[in-house]
Structure formats: structure tokens, C-alpha cells
Amino acid sequence: MEDSRVSGEEHLQNPRRNGSGTVSRIRLENFMCHSSLQIELGECVNFITGQNGSGKSAILTALCVAFGSRARGTQRATTLKDFIKTGCSYALVVVEMKNQGDDAFKSEIYGDVIIIERRITESSSTTIDVENPCVIMSQDKSREFLHSGNDKDKFKFFFKATLLQQVSELLQSIRGQLDAANAIVDELESSIRPIVKELNDLQVKIKNMEHVEEISQQVQQLKKKLAWAWVYDVDKKIQEHAVRLEKLKERIPTCQAKIDHQMVKVNELKDCLHDKKIQIASMMEKTSEVRRMKDELQHDLSLATRERLELEEEYNRRSNLVQKLVHRVRSLDQQVHDIREQHVRNTQADNWEIEERIKKLQEEFDAANLNFQRLKEEEHILSEKLSMTLNVIKEICLEIDENESKYRDISSHIRDLQRHRSNKVTAFGGERVINLLRVIERHHRRFIRPPIGPIGAHVTLVNDDMWALAIEHAIGRWLNAFIVTDHKDSLLLRGCAKEANYGNLQIIIYDFTRPKLNIPNHMLPHTNHPNALSLLRVDNPTVMNVLVDMGSAERQVLARDYEIGKSIAFDQRISNLKEVYTIEGYRMFSRGSVETVLPPNKRIRTGRLCSSIDDQINCLEKDASKAQEFVQQSKGRKRNVDESHRELQENLRSIKKQRMDAERNVMSKQLKLRDAKNSYAAEASFDPEPKVDELCQEILKVQEEMQEKNVSLEKLQLRIKEAEVKANKVKLSFENICESANGDIDAFEEAERELMLIEDHLRSAETEKAHYEGIMDKKVLPDIRVAEKAYEDLQLDRQESYKKASIICPEDEIKALGGCAESTPEQLSAQLTRLRQRLEHERQRYEESIDDLREMYERKERKIKRKQETYKAFREKLSACQKALDLRWSKFQRNATLLKRQLTWQFNGHLRKKGISGQIKVNYEDKTLSVEVKMPQDASNDTVRDTRGLSGGERSFSTLCFALALHEMTEAPFRAMDEFDVFMDAVSRKISLDTLVDFAVAQGSQWIFITPHDISMVKPGERIKKQQMAAPRA
């Protein structure tokens, strides 16, 4: 029974004949009702009969126990020790099986007989359940099958009897084990993914390091190119200087030719000048006497003319003086006449007329003064109105500036919030904190513990945003700060901030290993109002500890308005209270007897901790719109007030002009009145006679002076006539001499002009010659000497540069690299500097050497490769197992379908022996089995679909046919049926026994039939063995 399996029709055509696996002997001791029993079994058909209670079924139970079945599987006991006979301490089951023929199992080891012995004691607890396919048609199972109307129960019986259930469960178990194995392999593969990621990171790092080596190689190549670039640059300069030197040397002949040309010209001019001087010297001898006389006469003429002019000027001056004296006499006579006439008029005028005039002038002055005071008052009123208008304009301008500033602040706040909406971190430091976080990321390996910050990025408000301004005033100074674990990390973070251009970064040193603080209630402020810590959600325990230890957030109480805040801070005297903050941002605290209230900080902006940034942006946009609208309204008011201001200025200018005119009128009237009064007073006391005498004496003096001047004028006029006569005589003599010597003088003057022209040409030629000689001495030759010196220096530089470049690398290597003619040394030097800086920067990023990284990479790669190969082999084996399982499952389903068809054929074939036909329908999806039986035509025309509708004998026979059909479909070394005929009548039993014997003999395997009935009707034969059990004791 160790190798029972589902088979097809091939087994029926080739029955077993060698007896391998058949039971030859069973021996029982103290097992169930048997004290000692030994029974021999034949190779083919065995009948065991006996009365009820004689222990027939115990033989089959012993077989099941011997082959490893559990006690519950026999349906006769719950534990193995229940099989021990009452009063005994053990039970023994010994089964001998033949092991001969082609199907023998390791006959060279076990021999021809395999003995299976199982000993059961009271203390035995070990059971072996090998799921041996031992199927026994017992009386209970027969009764259950016959009386069952449930198709699912019939299917279970069929499924288990055909071993399909065992195969299905085995395949399902294998599938589950494969799934578990796949899960294990998945877990193993996932366990190496971090190592694979680390390996990939190492590979990226190695590539970066290789890139660094490439940069280093580029640096070396650039050094070589730069060395030879200096050589090539010097060569280029040498060529340029050689060309320039040739050009400079070519200037020498040109310049010398010009110098020679000027030299010839100078010599010619000198010869011409010498000839002309000789000519002039001879002419001078001829004209010198005439010229002397001419000069003397010309000098005398000049003296005479000057004397005449001086005398005429003196005459004119004295004539003017005489005229002035005449006018002076006339003026004095007129004054005398006027004084006398005025005195006559004054003495004749009446005093009342003067008084009336003074009175009239007084009235005009009073009216003008009154008008002036009125205009002055109006001017003062307009000035005050103008000043008030200016104040209103200033106030409106201040309002406009404030609201425009408010609009700009709100717009800036909106832009900040929009930036914060995309990245919350920017709310706590702007772009600087983003740059700082990138620098920290680059240097994160250098930190003992990565810094935490900014603090605001780890803090959010619990409820709505109503308390945002109060929280901002309470803990706002800590939100931009970063937290580090020790002083070393603080210095490193300060360096990172400097690199990110983040000045004045607030750094807090705090121990990261400290657990989250648990604040007892007695240390909190005893109030119903919230504190700052209770409204915050902090995702990091270290941040919370800092807010508590350094910010005292748990002791900062928040109030809804100013009055409630004052009551909490100053009136209630709450313990553990540090500060009170209102929704508006007021800060209140008391230190001893001093009570302090600080106004809100207008520079603090809310929204950094708000949960709904969009709502706040909408509110701020509304505020900005209101501020802009207010600015427009204020500008309209300002335009109106400006118009009024201009009108007031026009009125003020008009009034001011009228006031100045009135003031001048008043001053004029006042002066007239004063003159009138002074004139009246002067006239009353005036006597003109003394003044007239003085004027007459002055007239006499002037007349005497006039007579003296007239006499001197007459003398001057005589002298002028004499000088004029003398001048005319000299002029006449001069003209005569000039006419006589006019031709010689003209020739002499012409010669002098030619001499001067020759001298000018000579000086110009000498200047040109000196110029070209200066160019030759000061420019051409020095430039050539400088160029030659520079050329020699370049030659020396070239030799030195070539020597240095040859030390660095040979010139052929530079040519192999493509040369360096395209770039100048300066460009190569700048490129080399950039590459060096980049190389230094890259080397600072990686502290390990590339050889260490490659060694580490190879080591890890070997390790991970072994694991990957192992896991790949596991996966391939599992895939092969999965394919084999799928193949077995498809074969299982095909065999199940074949068994379903074969079962119906076999069942119908056995029913025909009694003239009955039937059909078995098996549904594997619904797990149902239905039996249909059709009785003979003379008995019934109906098809019975339920075995319970048959008679007892028909039902038993149908069940037997069903069992035989199942037997034909299974392969086993022996088969057993227990009390299979319990419900059959004599005829059905006879047909059934004949059917069973014929089937067993044809089948060829070992059969064990147990029945309490008489089997004498069974025909005896050599392959049929009958045994009678002893009657049970009373």
C-alpha cells in the first residue's frame, strides 16, 4: 500500500500476478478485542466471516494502524492507546508483506518479506501519519453513502476514494510551498536591494572620482600646453619684432635722404643769403645819407605834429572850462531870480490855503492808511488759510504714502506667501535657507548629527489660523533658527552659512539624545486660556524640547483681546505665567511690581504657520485692493485741495500786490504831508536876502576866472598857429627828400624784403633738417636699439621657455595632443585656474581614494554577485518547479476528467449484470456527484435520481457497483471491504458476491472481504480463501 496511485485502463489489461505488496500474515496482541490473533491471507480473494463482535473489523483497523494512520482516521478511537485491550499495558500489530517480483522494493536489502511492526503503549504519544491511501468500505460508510441524499457528500467520497483529493491537496500544498518559497526569495532579493543601491552609489562615486581623474589629466595636459604655449607665444612675438625691426631699419635711408635734401637746400639758401647781404650792403652805402636826412626830417615832423596836437588839446580843455564857468554864472543868476520870485509868492499866499492843503493831505493819508490796514488783515487771513491748506495737503500726502507703503508691504507679503505655498521652508529665511540646506546636504557626512532646521518647518498650528499673529509674536524669533548637537557641529554649520551667504544665522546647541519632555500639570499656568505650546503640532521631539527649554512656550498664555490679556497678566496673578500675548500681538508681563505692555511689532508678518495660505492670500489681496482704492480717493482729495491751494495763492498774490501798492501810497501821502508841513514851517521863518548876496559874490568870482581863462586861450591860439607853420615847413622838406630818394629806397626795401624772405626759408630749411635729424637721433635709431634689445630678450626668453617646456614634456607630445595654436597662454592659464579650482572642489567632496573605492566596490560586488547568483538559481529552480506543478495540475485535471467518464462506464457496466442501467454525473466546479439509476422496462419506466428512492437491496447493489467502479480506477496491492452486504437480501447478496469474486479474480490484486453473513454460496476455488472468526465470548 506504499505506492497506490491513480491509473487508467492499462492496469486492467495487465493485472498484478507477482504478489509484491500483498499481506501474507497479520498478528495481533492485546489489540482491541484480540488477546492474540494470527491470520494467514491468500494472494487473491480472502473472506473473513464471523459473528458480530468477533473482531473482524479490528483486523482492518490493525492494518490501518500498522501503515501509520492516525487513530481518528480509523473512526474507531481518538487515541492510539484506546486500541490497547482493557487490562493490558501494550498492544502489538505485526504485518508481513511479500516483497517479490518485478515490483519488489529493495529486495537486496529487505529480502522477500517486509515485516511492519507497531507497538502501542500507555505512554506512547508519537503518531505517524503518512496519509497512506487506505480506503475501506466499512458498514458505516456504506450506510452513509446509501442513505445520503447530498450530492456534495457523495462527491467527497468519490474524490477521496479515487485519491484525487490527496493529489489535489498535495498539489495545493506544493503550490503553497512554492508561494512561500517565492516570498522567501523575494524577501532575500529585497534584503540585498540596499546593498545594490549602495553599490550603485559607489559606482556613481567612482565615476565621479574618475571624472576627477579626467580633470586631473586635463590639468596636466593644460600644464604641458601652457608651457609650450609660452614658447609659441615668444616665437610669435619674435617674428613680430623681426618684422618691426626690418620696418624700423627701412626708415633710416628715407630719413637720411630727407636730411641730405634739407642739407642741400640749406647750403643753397646760405649762398643766396650771402649774395643778398652783399647787395644790400652796397645799396646801404648809397642810401645811408639820404636815409639819415629823411629820418631827421621825419623826427622833426613828428615833434612838430605832436606839439601842435598837444596845444590843440590844451586849448580845447581850457575852452570847455570857460564854457562851464559861463554855465555856472547863468545857473547862479537863475537861482537868484528864483529865490526872489519864490519869496514874493510866499509872502503873497494866504495861510488858510496852506492849512487846507495840509488838512486834505492828512485825510488822504488816513484813508490810504485805513485801506492799507484792511488789505494787511485780508493778507493775514489768506496766509492762515493757505497754511491750513498746506497742512491738509501734507496730511493727505502722508496718508497716501502710508497706504502706498501698506500696499507695497501687502504685495510683498502676498509674493512671500505665494513663494511659501510652493515651498514652506522659504517662509523661514527665504532663498538663503534653501541655499543653506543645499550646502548642508553637500557636507552632511561631516556633521556628527544632521542639523535640524529651520524650526518653523517642523511646526504647524493645531486649529485654525486665529492665533497665528499671537504665536508669531510669542515664538517667532525661534522659527528661523537651526539646532545642532554640539559646538563642533555649530562651527561647521556656521561655515556652511557663510558659504551660502547666510549672515547672522541663529544656531541653538541642544542634545539630540534627550527624550521628549513631559511637562506635569503643576508646572503649567493654571488658566483656561490656551498656551503657545498647546496650539502647536511639533513633528520632532528635539524641536519641542527647544521650544520648552529655551522659548518657555508652555508658559506663554494667549488671550483673545487686550482687556482679557491685562486681566490675565496683572489681575489674576497666575502661577508659572511668563508672558501673555493677545490676538492683536500685544505682549504683557510683570516683573515684581512693574507691569509692562509692549505694542505689536509691525514688522512681523503672519502666515508662516498658517494652514490655509490661499485664504490668507485672498484676505491680503482684499486689503491691498482697499489700500489702493483709499490711495486713489486720497489722490482725488489732494487734487481738489491743490486746486483750492492755487486759488488761495492767486488771491494772496493779488491782495499782497494791493497791500504793497497801498503801503507805497501811504508812504507817499505821509512824505507829502511831512513835506507840506516842513515847507509851511520853513516858509514861515525864511529870509532870502543873505542867500542872494552869497550867490552874487560867487557870480563875481566866476566872471573874474572867466576873464583869466580867455586871456590864456588867446595865447594858446597863437602858439598853435606857430606850431602849425613849423610843421608845414618840415613836412614840405620831408616830401622833397622823399621824392628825390624814392627809387633808391624802394630798391633797398625790396632787397631787404628778399633778404628777410631768404632768411625765413633758411630758418625753415634748418628747422626741417634739425627735425629729421632729431627723428633720426631720438626716434628711429633709439627705436631700432630698443627693438633689437627686445628681440634679444625675446630670444633669451624663448630659450628659457623652451628649456622649461622640454623638461615638462617633449614637443612631439604636444603635437600628438593636437597642438595649442588655437589658444593664447592667457586663455590656457585662465582655463587651467578654473580646472584647478574645480579639481580642488571635487577633491574636497570625496575624501576616499579611487583605489579604495574600487576595492570596496569589487568586494561588495563579489559578495552581492554570489547572492544574486544564488537567488537567481533559487528563482530558476522555483520557476522549474512552478512549470512542473502547472504540468502536473493540467495532467491532474485531464485525469480527473477521464476518471469521471470511466466511472460512468464502469458503473453502468456493473449495473447491467442485474438488468439495470445508470449514469454518474460529476461536477468538479460545484463539487457534486449525482447517481441516476434506470430500472428494467418491465418494472418501471422512471429514472431514479436519488438512491434513497430505491429499495434496500437495489440501493446496496448500486453502491457495490459504484465501489467496484472505483476499484477499477485505482491501483493498490490489496483491497478490503467490511460488511459490504449488510443491507442486501439473499438474491442481491448472491449477485453481489458473484460479481465481487469475478471482479477480484479478474483484477488480480489481493482482496479482503469481511461479512457476518454466510458465504457458502461463494464457489470455492484455489484463489479463494475463507476463514471463520471465533465466536465472541459472552
Amino acid 777 reads D
Going by pLDDT thresholds of 50, 70 and 90, the confidence category of residue 287 is: low
Nearest Cα residue to 501 out of 587, 589, 434: 434
Nearest Cα residue to 27 out of 18, 36, 17: 36
All three cell numbers of 126 = 508519537
- Residue 519, pLDDT > 60, answer yes
CB of 748 within 8 A of CB of 284? Answer: yes
Give the end-to-end CA distance of the chain in Å, rounded to a whole number: 36
- Mean pLDDT, range 520-548, rounded to an integer: 85
Which residue intervals of 452-539 are DSSP H helices?
468-475, 487-499
| Strongest mean pLDDT among 185-194, 290-299, 337-346, 852-861 | 185-194
Q: Are strands 459-461 and 1006-1011 parallel, antiparallel or unpaired?
A: unpaired
Amino acid 212 reads V
Give the SS3 label for residue 463.
coil
Looking at residue 484, its pLDDT comes to 93
Percent of the chain with pLDDT over 90: 3
Amino acid 804 reads K
Q: What is the pLDDT of residues 22-35, one digit of tens each?
A: 888 999 998 888 88
- Residue 289, pLDDT > 90, answer no
The CA distance from 47 to 1017, in Å, is 12
CB of 506 within 8 A of CB of 480? Answer: yes
Q: Are strands 136-137 and 459-461 parallel, antiparallel or unpaired?
A: unpaired
Amino acid 192 reads I
- Residue 731, pLDDT > 50, answer yes
- The average confidence (pLDDT) of the chain is 78
The CA distance from 186 to 691, in Å, is 146
The CA distance from 825 to 807, in Å, is 18
CB of 245 within 8 A of CB of 791? Answer: yes
DSSP state of 849: -
Looking at residue 741, its pLDDT comes to 61
- Residue 556, pLDDT > 60, answer yes
The CA distance from 32 to 51, in Å, is 16
- Mean pLDDT, range 130-156, rounded to an integer: 61
Contacts of 1004 by beta carbon, 8 Å cutoff, 6+ apart: 15, 16, 17, 44
The CA distance from 989 to 357, in Å, is 184
Percent of the chain with pLDDT over 70: 83
Looking at residue 8, its pLDDT comes to 34
- Mean pLDDT, range 594-603, rounded to an integer: 80
Looking at residue 125, its pLDDT comes to 54
The CA distance from 72 to 994, in Å, is 34
Going by pLDDT thresholds of 50, 70 and 90, the confidence category of residue 94 is: very high
- Between 73-82, 683-692, 808-817, the lowest mean confidence (pLDDT) is in 683-692
The CA distance from 1012 to 982, in Å, is 8
Q: What is the pLDDT of residues 741-757, one digit of tens each?
A: 666 666 766 777 787 78
Class of domain 5-149+946-1028: alpha beta
Going by pLDDT thresholds of 50, 70 and 90, the confidence category of residue 143 is: low
Looking at residue 812, its pLDDT comes to 75
Give the SS3 label for residue 809.
coil
Which DSSP string corresponds to 286-320?
HHHHHHHHHHHHHHHHHHHHHHHHHHHHHHHHHHH
Query: pTM for the complete prediction?
Result: 0.38
Going by pLDDT thresholds of 50, 70 and 90, the confidence category of residue 92 is: very high
- Residue 16, pLDDT > 70, answer no
Looking at residue 15, its pLDDT comes to 45
All three cell numbers of 298 = 621825419
Strand order of the sheet with strand 917-923?
917-923, 928-934, 943-944
Looking at residue 192, its pLDDT comes to 81
Beta bridge partner(s), residue 921: 930
Residue 670 gets the label, from left (phi > 0), alpha (psi -120 to 50) or beta, of: alpha
Looking at residue 13, its pLDDT comes to 39
Three-state helix/strand/coil letters over 954-989: HHHHHHHHHHHHHHHCEECCEEEEECCCCCCCHHHH
The rounded radius of gyration (Å) of the Cα atoms in the chain is 72
Residue 288 class from Cβ within 10 Å (0-12 exposed, 13-18 middle, 19+ buried)?
exposed
Looking at residue 95, its pLDDT comes to 92
pLDDT, greater one: 544 or 468: 544
Q: What is the pLDDT of residues 349-378, one digit of tens each?
A: 555 677 777 788 888 888 888 888 888 888
- Residue 36, pLDDT > 70, answer yes
- Mean pLDDT, range 891-908, rounded to an integer: 83
- Mean pLDDT, range 893-915, rounded to an integer: 80
Q: What is the largest CA-CA distance in the chain?
A: 218
Q: What is the pLDDT of residues 821-873, one digit of tens each?
A: 667 777 777 877 877 777 777 666 666 677 777 788 788 888 888 888 888 88
Going by pLDDT thresholds of 50, 70 and 90, the confidence category of residue 938 is: very low
Q: Show me where the domains of the chain are located.
A: 5-149+946-1028
The three-point CA angle 903-909-915 to 5° equals 135
Go through the chain and tell me how many residues it has. 1034
Looking at residue 93, its pLDDT comes to 92
- Mean pLDDT, range 185-207, rounded to an integer: 81
What phi and psi values does residue 587 have, to the nearest 5 degrees? -115, 125
Q: What is the pLDDT of residues 941-962, one digit of tens each?
A: 555 555 666 666 666 777 777 7
Nearest Cα residue to 23 out of 48, 53, 52, 50: 48
The three-point CA angle 374-375-378 to 5° equals 90
- Mean pLDDT, range 668-690, rounded to an integer: 66
- Residue 9, pLDDT > 60, answer no
Contacts of 152 by beta carbon, 8 Å cutoff, 6+ apart: 927, 928
Looking at residue 348, its pLDDT comes to 54
